[in-house]
Amino acid sequence: MSADVAAGRLVQLFPEHGRTGRPMHVVCSHDHYRSTRLRSFVDFLVERFPPAPHT
């Protein structure tokens, strides 16, 4: 992914926030959740920001 950012194919949103460990929520309607594009985006978020382990 960093190669895509360096090449200008992707832009980083909110780089100042980084990985802060703060909760992140994705809210969408049930019908939109089935969208391939949205599902791909949610999969990306889960991969990039894995859920915190339960303590």
Written as six digits, the tokens of 28 are 């969408």
Q: What pLDDT does residue 54 have?
A: 65
Tokens of 47: 């991969």
Q: Which amino acid is at 24?
A: M
pLDDT in 10s for each residue of the chain, 55 residues? 678 888 988 887 766 656 556 677 788 777 766 788 888 888 888 888 777 676 5
Q: How would you label 23-54 residue by residue, b for 16+ Cβ within 10 Å and e otherwise?
A: eeeeeeeeeeeeeeeeeeeeeeeeeeeeeeee
User: Whole-model pTM?
Assistant: 0.48
